[in-house]
Structure 1
Amino acid sequence: MPAPDGHLKIKRVAIDTEPENTVFLSRQCAVYRPEEFRALKKIEVTSGGKSLLATLSITDDHAITAPDELGLGVQAFRRLGAPEGAAVEIEQATPPRSLDAVRRKIAGEVMSPDEIKAIINDIAAHRYSPMEIAAYLIAAASFTTTDEVLAMTRAMAASGAQIDWDAPLVVDKHCIGGIPGNRTSMIVAPIVAAHGLTMPKTSSRAITSPSGTADTMEVLANVALSIDEMKDVVEREHACLAWGGHVNLSPADDVLITVERPLSIDTREQMVASILSKKLAAGSTHIVLDIPMGPTAKVRSQSEAVRLRKLMEYVSAEIGLVIDVVFTDGAQPVGRGIGPVLEARDVMAVLNNEAHAPADLRARALLLAGRVLDFDPDLRGGMGRKRAQELLDSGKALAAMERIIDAQGRADKPACAGELTAEIIATHEGVVAAMDCFRIARIARLAGAPMDKGAGIDLFKKMGDPVKKGDALYRIHSCFSSDFEFAKAMAHEHSGVTVDGAPVRKSVHT
C-alpha cells in the first residue's frame, strides 16, 4: 500500500547501529531531496504521533531502501515503535536545548537540578549523539558537586519505568564490580527468598567483564522478564534474578554506559548515580553495597573506598534508601569459574553444599546475605549471618533457587564449557603471590565470554597456594578457534598470575 502524499513508508533494515538511531534514505527519494539533509547532524522522524531523532545515511542500493521508503536501523525501528509500512515523514531536527547546560558545564559552571533533568531526559530519549554524550561525561568527570550527583540520581531514576512493590521492606544487594567470578547475588537472592524477604534483583549484562549476573543466570533460566512477569515471580517466590535492561529501569544510565566504557570514564560520582538510580527505580528500600578493594580492582585503597561509601550514604539518605556498605577483599577473583557457564557451576555447587564448592564464594555470599537479613526487624540483631547459613546448609536456599528458575523459565538446554582448552602452567616452584583481576578478566573475554556462554577461565590456584613446576594454574575454555588463539596469545604474554614475584608465561594444550 503506498504511503500518503508527502510521506514515505517505514522499512526495517537489519543493521545494528547501537547506540545510535540511524535511518536510510534513497538518493532517488520520491518525496525528499536527500541533498537538503546531508549537512544535518540529526533529523526528526515522525509516524503516527511518535517521533525520534536519528542520524541520516544516504543509500544508492534499492535493496536497502527504495525511493518511496525510509529505512530504519534495528535500534531506530524498535524505539520508534511503528510497524513496517506505516507512513513516516522527516524534518530538520532542532538541537536539544539542554546542550546549552552541557556547554556551561564544560566552562566549569555548576548545573541546576532542572538542567540536569533536561540533559538526562534528552539522553534517555536518544536525542544526544555519542559525541555529545562524551562531552557531557568528560565535563562532569572534571568536577561534579554532591548536589549535582543527587540531582543526577533522581533524574536518572525518573527517566524510565519505576516499580512500586507496596511493601515497607524491599531489599537488594549490589557489588560495584571489577572482580571476576563474584557471583554472590545468585546465592544471596535465594537465601533471602527462603527467609521470606522481598528481593527483586535486577542485574546488568556484562559490558567489559567476562560475565554479568544476568549473563550467568541466563545459563539456568530466562532473564528477559517484563515488569509484569517480574512482579509475578517475586509475588510467588519472594525474589527474582532478572536482566534490568529489559524492564527499562534508569534507561539514561544504559545509554551513558555505552560511551563511558570505551572512554574508561568511571568516576565515583557517576557510579553512585548509576547504582542508586536503578535501585530507586526498582522500588528497593534497603540495600547492601559490596565494595571490593584490591590492587587491580575498581577501588584500590581504603581512603578511596571511604570517600565512595560516604557519597553513597549521603545520596541514599536524601532519596530515602537505607544502605549498608561492606568492604570486601578484591585482591583476586572469587570462586573458580570466570565466564557464564563456569560461574553458574560454582553458584550451584555452593547452593548444593558440594564438598568441592568454592569456599571463598560461599563465605562471601553468606557474609552479604547475612547483612541483607539483618534488615529484617523480626530477626534479632546480628543474627543475619547465622540465619543465612541455616538456610544454605538445610537446602532451603537451593529449593528457593529451583523455584525461582522454574518461575522465570528454566533454560531448555544446559550450556557446556567450551571444548577448546589450553592450560597455563607454572614454569617454576613457589607460591601464588598475586593475581591481576583486570588481566584475567580480559583473557576470559578474549576467549569469548560472555557472548559464548561456555567460554572463560577455570582457576586451579589462588593466592597463597603452593605451586610446583608444571602445575596448571588455570584452564582457558573457548568455543571458536579465533577467540581461542587470541586468549592464548594474551595469556602467554602475561598470564595475570604471579608466582613468587614472577609472572607465568607458558601455555600447554590439553
Structure 2
Amino acid sequence: MKIRRIGIDTSPDNTAFLLRTGNGYSPEQFQALRKIEIGDGSVTILATLALVDDTGLLGKGEIGLGEQAFRRLGLPEGTKVSFRQAPVPHSLEHVRRKIDGDSLDDNDIREIIEDIAAFRYSPMEIGAFLVACASFMTTQETLALTRAMADAGRRMQWAADIVVDKHCIGGIPGNRTSMIVVPIIAAHGLTMPKTSSRAITSPSGTADTMEVLASVDLAEDKLIAVVEQEHAVLAWGGRVNLSPADDILITVERPLRIDTFEQMVASILSKKIAAGSTHLVVDIPIGPTAKVRSQREAIRLRKLFEYVGHKLGLVLDVVFTDGTQPIGRGIGPVLEARDVMAVLRNDADAPADLRERSVTLAGRILEFDPALVGGRGYARAMELLGSGQALAAMERLIDAQGRRKEVLKPGEFHHEICAPHEGVVTMIDCHVIARIARLAGAPMDKGAGIDLLRKVGERVRADEPLYRIHAHSEDGLGYASELALATSGYLVTP
C-alpha cells in the first residue's frame, strides 16, 4: 500500500488508518490487528490501527498515517509499504510478574522500556506497569528504570567538560526561575543546554513561557548551534527525542495522578542524562500545597536523587526552597514572561521573591565552576544580573532561537477576586491557583492566567482585589471565575 499523510495529531501514539472495505480484508481481520507493523524493509514503526469509512479521507490501496506516525516513519508520501500484525511484546510477562509482587532486574526493566519507547504497549498496558511500580519499587529498580529510560532515545554530547542544568520538581505556580538562571549561567560562560517539557497539569512550563519571547521548537542541529554560539538554550525537549519513553509514560501518569518519588526521579534524571548534563541542581519546594509537603518527605526524595544520580555519574546539589505560595506575580505564559524580563532588566518593581530564588539557584550552579572561588557563586550571580550581563545574554539567546515578532499581551477579558473582609493574607493554595489559571485558558492561550496583587503576609481591606484573572475568551473567564468564587485559594485572617 502507499503512504498517505493524514493531518491528525494523535500524540504521543502512532496511528494508522485503513479503509474498512475494499482492500481485500474483512472488517474482522482488521479488528484483530491491535497493533500493526508498517515499513518498507529498511525502516518500520508500530502503530495502532483505526478503521475509516470515509472514502474521501483514504482511497483503495492507501494506508493513512497520523502526523506522529508519518514523522517517525520518515518516508515520503506515496512510498509503498507493507504491514502485518505486530507480535505481543515478551516484556509484558515482566509486567505481570511485577503486578504479582516480584522485583524486576535490570534486563526486565530495560525490555519493558524499550517496548514502550517503540510504542508496542497500549495505554492500558502502560497503566498496569505504572500502577504496579507505584505499589512498590526498590531503589535498584528505580536506578534501572532511570538508566533504561535515558538509553532508550537520543543522548546528546557536548565539548565542555562541565555541562550544568537545574530542575524544579514543580507544583509552584510562577516558579519560572530557569529563564533567569540560564542567562546568568550563559553570561558566566558555563554550558547550560536547558530543555524543558511543555506544561501538562500546570498553567505554564519553561518552554511555554519562553515561547512568548522566542521559538522553542528547535530541530537538533539548530539547538546544537545555539548552544555552541551562546553556551545555552531554552528549548522544548520533545523535538530532540530525549528519553522518549518518559514522554509516553507521562501521558498515562497524569490522568491517573501517579507521581511517586521513584517515578519522578527516573523521569527527571533520565532526561538530564540524555541531554548530556554532568552537574545538576535540583530544586525541591516544600509547602502544604506543594508536591512535597514536609521536610521528612523532602529528605527522602533528596536521598533518592543523590543515590541514583551518583550511580549514573551525575554531580548533584539538592536545594530545599519555600513552597508555601506562588513565586512572582504572574501565573500563565505572558504574565510569567513579563516577570522574568522585569527581573533581568533590574526593574524596581520586579518580583523580589522570583529574583532572590533565581539568584540563589544560579549561585548554586556557579559553585560547580572549579575556576570560581568557593562560596562566591551567589555574589557572582548577583554581579551578572545587576550589571545587565544576564539581560544581554538573554537577548542574544532570544535572537539566536528566533525572536517572536508578535508582542503577546494578557487576555483582554479580566475579573478581579476580592478579599471577603479586612485582614492579612496568611495562605495561598498553589493547587487551586493553578487550576483557576488553567481554566482561564493557560497555557494554550498564552495571555490567559492570573496576576497576583497580594502575597502572603500582606494586609488587605474588605473588597480589595487579591488577584486578577485574565482570559482571551468570555467562556474561559467564566469557568475560571466560577471556581475562584467557589474557592479563591486565598486565606485572609482577620
The bucket for the TM-score relative to the shorter chain is: over 0.9
Alignment-derived partner of residue 75 in structure 2: 82
Alignment-derived partner of residue 146 in structure 1: 139
The one of 357, 363, 376 aligned to 1:370: 363
Alignment-derived partner of residue 459 in structure 1: 452
SS in structure 2 opposite 1:37? Answer: helix
- How far apart, CA to CA, are the structure 1 residues paired with 2:348 and 2:41? 61
Judge which range, 34-43 or 410-419, deviates more: 34-43
Alpha-carbon deviations, 1:203-253, whole Å to 9, x = none?
111000000000000111111122222221111111111111111111110
- How far apart, CA to CA, are the structure 2 residues paired with 1:398 and 1:420? 31
Whether contact under 8 Å (1:20, 1:130) holds in the other structure is: no
SS in structure 2 opposite 1:54? Answer: strand
Q: What amino acid does structure 1 have at the position aligned with 2:298?
A: A
Instruction: Quote the offset at 1:84 in angstroms.
Output: 1.7
Aligned in 2, Cα 1:239/1:331: closer, same or farther, shift over 3 Å?
same
Alignment-derived partner of residue 164 in structure 2: 171
Alignment-derived partner of residue 508 in structure 1: none
Report percent identity of matched pairs.
66
Alpha-carbon deviations, 1:44-101, whole Å to 9, x = none?
2223422222222222210122222112222222222222211122212101111111
Whether contact under 8 Å (1:31, 1:68) holds in the other structure is: no
- How far apart, CA to CA, are the structure 2 residues paired with 1:473 and 1:147? 47
Q: How many residues align?
A: 494
Q: What amino acid does structure 2 have at the position aligned with 1:465?
A: E
- How far apart, CA to CA, are the structure 2 residues paired with 1:215 and 1:19? 18
Unpaired runs of 5+ residues, structure 2, are none
Q: What amino acid does structure 2 have at the position aligned with 1:120?
A: I
Whether contact under 8 Å (1:27, 1:67) holds in the other structure is: no
The one of 212, 230, 241 aligned to 1:219: 212
1:470 partnered with 2:463? yes
- How far apart, CA to CA, are the structure 2 residues paired with 1:480 and 1:47? 47
1:60 partnered with 2:53? yes
The one of 262, 265, 269 aligned to 1:269: 262
1:247 partnered with 2:240? yes
1:182 partnered with 2:175? yes
SS in structure 2 opposite 1:345? Answer: helix
Alignment-derived partner of residue 127 in structure 1: 120
Cα RMSD after superposing both structures? 1.2
Alignment-derived partner of residue 18 in structure 2: 25
Alignment-derived partner of residue 209 in structure 1: 202
Q: What amino acid does structure 1 have at the position aligned with 2:428?
A: M
Alpha-carbon deviations, 1:475-502, whole Å to 9, x = none?
001012221111111111111111118x
Alpha-carbon deviations, 1:358-412, whole Å to 9, x = none?
0000000011011001111111111100110011111111111111111111111
Q: What amino acid does structure 1 have at the position aligned with 2:214?
A: A
Alignment-derived partner of residue 422 in structure 2: 429
SS in structure 2 opposite 1:32? Answer: coil
The one of 330, 333, 340 aligned to 1:337: 330
- How far apart, CA to CA, are the structure 1 residues paired with 2:295 and 2:59? 61
The one of 107, 110, 124 aligned to 1:114: 107
1:320 partnered with 2:313? yes
The one of 474, 489, 494 aligned to 1:496: 489
- How far apart, CA to CA, are the structure 2 residues paired with 1:50 and 1:274? 28
Judge which range, 46-55 or 290-299, deviates more: 46-55
Judge which range, 27-36 or 216-225, deviates more: 27-36
SS in structure 1 opposite 2:104? Answer: coil
Q: What amino acid does structure 1 have at the position aligned with 2:427?
A: A
- How far apart, CA to CA, are the structure 2 residues paired with 1:137 and 1:41? 21
- How far apart, CA to CA, are the structure 2 residues paired with 1:59 and 1:218? 36
